[in-house]
């Protein structure tokens, strides 16, 4: 419920701060006094877009702040979903800056207007004669019936299964599309896979193959150079080994002369041993080198195949080719098994469909049982509001479609007059009749669920006398379980309020300002008397006002 409202620098309001109580709250005032301004301020709190025309003084910012007691509204999940700080006493603030920019906050957390609008729908329902389109909305009509039929739990279960059904339907569509794509590409993919498999890439190292190719391709040069190396080392006249052997003998003589040459002699000996080992390895390597044209051709072909595949697949390594081969093999496997996957998914989908049908059947039966209860209450209540011949024909038929709330089609047919034909509500009822129907529906719903604060904006237009009195009684009864506001010009309705506020304008220093004042008991008597008799308050009007307030 709305507990406090503060408005600063908005339209004709300079500064206003007021507290509201539960039950039925009445707001009265002369035409043009500013009741619409009050509703405009609330609309900004509920997420309506704003502009500079909202500012009374364009040099100062406009601030509208409202506090709501939301303990009974089950909004914790909403707050968590939108990263808002939950508080049982939630404060919504809207600021419009002189620059024209607007900011919104929920418990001091900045919030987008779409989120504020969604939250506002759960907090306040502003209803006027011109806002009865909701009544003709099929989704709202289902909500009314489902509330009375006590079927919301089954609807939630149905929606949970429907979500899984839709998710699996999309998955099946994706798999079928994948199957179609695979069928188009199957032959080409198999050709590519076979080509990669024939290349026998497993265990191949490109660098090793290239080294082998270079070795075989240059076998003659290798053998020639190894032979020359052997000759340089072993020639009897000028061979390095023979010369180094003589150097070794010479260094030995130096050691005999002076021991300090010992280290030099050992280094020369070590060099001789190393070079002799190199000579042996060169001899062995010559034996290993041979020209093998067949092997050279085989490796050249393998390298060319790899290079061709790399170019074809636009990659630079064998590892990347192996990755492509793995992917193609997976696609081949999927293609071979996809029929089984589709069959399994279809079976799973059918199981969800059966669950949905069973839940939808239960929902349908409960709705059928709840319709007479709604029809009876609506017709009885409307009869007291001057529509004794109003009749409803609510038709519910099962379909084979999975809708968001079941498998039913709903027609909310209405006849306002005796002998009249049933027709759609929006075609069969006038604006005033729709307002009374909406009032009755809201009153009925308030018995079964926690409704947001509702504000009736002159919903009583066009009614008077006993009908107005009955309408007031309905709103008063609604106020026993929820917060109700009524902006009214009818004294019968004004007298039923638990709180009574008056909107009025005053000119101060040639500036018109709108005020909102809570009336005392005596002030209420005079206000209702004025509503009865006009500007000149008669004694009889005062007496009548007192009687209305007692009733």
| Ordered DSSP codes for 167-235 | HHHHHHHHHHHHHHHHHHHHHHHHHHHHHHHHTT-TT--HHHHHHHHHHHHTHHHHHHHHHHHHHHHH-
Residue 163 CB partners (closer than 8 Å, separation 6+): none
Domain boundaries, the chain: 1-129+452-519, 178-337
Please state, in angstroms and rounded to a whole number, the distance separating the CA atoms of residues 241 and 108. Answer: 94
The backbone torsions φ and ψ at residue 48, rounded to the nearest 5 degrees and listed phi first, read -70, 150
The backbone torsions φ and ψ at residue 538, rounded to the nearest 5 degrees and listed phi first, read -90, 155
276: left (phi over 0), alpha (psi -120 to 50) or beta: alpha
Residue with tokens 């026998």: 200
Please count the other Cβ atoms lying within 10 Å of the Cβ belonging to residue 58: 13
Please state, in angstroms and rounded to a whole number, the distance separating the CA atoms of residues 364 and 370. Answer: 10
Please state, in angstroms and rounded to a whole number, the distance separating the CA atoms of residues 100 and 51. Answer: 6
Structure tokens at 544: 């009548």
| Residue length of the chain | 551
Structure tokens at 22: 């539960």
Helices (H) and strands (E) in the chain, counts: 17, 15
pLDDT at 327: 80
pLDDT at 187: 63
Maximal CA-CA distance, the chain: 154
| Ordered DSSP codes for 368-414 | HHHHHHHHHHHHHHHHHTT-TT-EEEEEEEEEEEEETTEEEEEEEEE
Please state, in angstroms and rounded to a whole number, the distance separating the CA atoms of residues 352 and 543. Answer: 68
Please state, in angstroms and rounded to a whole number, the distance separating the CA atoms of residues 21 and 16. Answer: 17
User: Which of 331, 302, 139 is CA-nearest to residue 208?
Assistant: 302
Please state, in angstroms and rounded to a whole number, the distance separating the CA atoms of residues 339 and 357. Answer: 27
At the topology level of CATH, where does 1-129+452-519 sit?
A: Rossmann fold (3.40.50)
Asked whether the beta carbons of 514 and 33 are under 8 A apart, the reply is yes
Please state, in angstroms and rounded to a whole number, the distance separating the CA atoms of residues 501 and 481. Answer: 21
DSSP 3-state assignment of 350?
helix
Torsion of CA 307, 308, 312, 315, to 10 degrees: -10
The backbone torsions φ and ψ at residue 132, rounded to the nearest 5 degrees and listed phi first, read -105, 10
The DSSP 8-state label assigned to residue 13 in this structure reads E
Asked whether the beta carbons of 436 and 107 are under 8 A apart, the reply is no
User: Which of 460, 461, 458, 457 is CA-nearest to residue 473?
Assistant: 460
Strands 23-28 and 499-508 turn out to be parallel
Residue with tokens 């009574």: 500
Question: 115 to each of 75, 109, 111, 121, how far by Cα in Å?
Answer: 13, 12, 7, 10
Please state, in angstroms and rounded to a whole number, the distance separating the CA atoms of residues 275 and 280. Answer: 9
pLDDT at 85: 94
Asked whether the beta carbons of 405 and 142 are under 8 A apart, the reply is yes
The DSSP 8-state label assigned to residue 329 in this structure reads H
Q: Which residues of the chain have pLDDT under 50?
A: none
Residue 64 CB partners (closer than 8 Å, separation 6+): 5, 6, 7, 8, 10, 41, 44, 45, 93, 94
Please state, in angstroms and rounded to a whole number, the distance separating the CA atoms of residues 42 and 452. Answer: 14
Total-model pTM: 0.67
| Partners of residue 504 on adjacent β-strands | 515
Torsion of CA 484, 488, 494, 499, to 10 degrees: 40
User: Which of 300, 297, 305 is CA-nearest to residue 201?
Assistant: 305
| Ordered DSSP codes for 460-512 | TTT--HHHHHHHHHHHHHHTTTSEEEEE-S-HHHHTT-SEEEEEEEEEETTEE
């Amino acid at each position: 419920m709305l507990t406090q409202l503060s408005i600063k620098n908005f339209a004709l309001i300079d500064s206003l701060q007021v507290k509201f109580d539960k039950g039925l709250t009445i707001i009265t005032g002369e035409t043009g006094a500013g009741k619409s301004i009050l509703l405009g301020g609330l609309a900004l709190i509920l997420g309506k877009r704003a502009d500079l025309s909202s500012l009374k003084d364009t040099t100062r910012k406009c601030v509208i702040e409202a506090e709501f007691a939301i303990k009974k509204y089950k909004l914790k999940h909403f707050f968590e979903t939108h990263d808002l700080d939950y508080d049982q006493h939630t404060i919504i603030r809207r600021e419009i800056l002189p620059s024209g920019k607007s900011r919104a906050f929920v418990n001091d957390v900045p919030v987008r207007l779409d989120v504020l609008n969604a939250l506002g729908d759960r907090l306040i329902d502003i209803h006027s004669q011109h806002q009865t389109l909701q009544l003709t909305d099929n989704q709202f009509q289902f909500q009314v019936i489902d509330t009375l039929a006590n079927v919301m739990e089954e609807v939630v279960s149905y929606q949970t299964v429907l979500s899984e059904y839709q998710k699996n339907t999309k998955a099946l569509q994706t798999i079928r599309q994948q199957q179609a794509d695979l069928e188009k590409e199957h032959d080409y993919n198999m050709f590519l896979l076979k080509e990669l498999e024939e290349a026998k890439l497993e265990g191949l190292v490109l660098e090793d193959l290239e080294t082998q190719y270079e070795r075989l391709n240059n076998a003659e040069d290798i053998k020639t150079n190894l032979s020359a190396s052997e000759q340089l080392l072993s020639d009897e006249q000028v061979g390095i080994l023979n010369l180094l052997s003589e150097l070794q003998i010479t260094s030995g003589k130096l050691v005999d002369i002076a021991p300090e040459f010992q280290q030099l002699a050992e280094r020369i000996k070590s060099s001789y041993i190393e070079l002799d080992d190199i000579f042996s390895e060169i001899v062995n390597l010559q034996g290993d080198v041979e020209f093998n044209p067949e092997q050279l051709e085989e490796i050249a072909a393998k390298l060319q195949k790899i290079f061709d595949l790399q170019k074809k697949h636009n990659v630079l390594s064998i590892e990347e080719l192996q990755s492509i081969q793995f992917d193609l093999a997976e696609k081949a496997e999927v293609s071979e098994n996809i029929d089984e996957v589709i069959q399994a998914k279809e079976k799973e989908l059918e199981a969800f469909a059966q669950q949905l049908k069973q839940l939808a059947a239960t929902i349908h039966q409960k709705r059928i049982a709840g319709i007479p209860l709604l029809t009876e209450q609506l017709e009885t209540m409307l009869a007291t509001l001057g529509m004794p011949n109003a009749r409803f024909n609510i038709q519910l038929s099962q379909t084979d479609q999975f809708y968001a709330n079941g498998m039913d089609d709903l027609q909310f047919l209405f006849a306002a007059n005796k002998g009249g034909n049933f027709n759609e509500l929006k075609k069969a009822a006038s604006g005033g009749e729709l307002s009374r129907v909406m009032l009755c529906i809201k009153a009925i719903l308030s018995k079964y669920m926690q409704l947001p604060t509702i504000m009736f904006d002159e919903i009583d237009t066009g009614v008077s006398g006993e009908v107005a009195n009955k309408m007031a009684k309905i709103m008063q009864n609604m106020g026993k379980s929820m917060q109700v506001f009524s902006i009214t010009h009818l004294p019968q309705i004004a007298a039923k309020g638990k709180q009574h506020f008056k909107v009025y304008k005053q000119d101060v220093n040639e500036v018109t300002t709108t005020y909102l004042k809570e009336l005392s008991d005596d002030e209420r008597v005079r206000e209702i008397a004025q509503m009865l008799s006009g500007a000149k308050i008669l004694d009889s009007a005062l007496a009548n006002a007192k009687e209305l307030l007692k009733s």
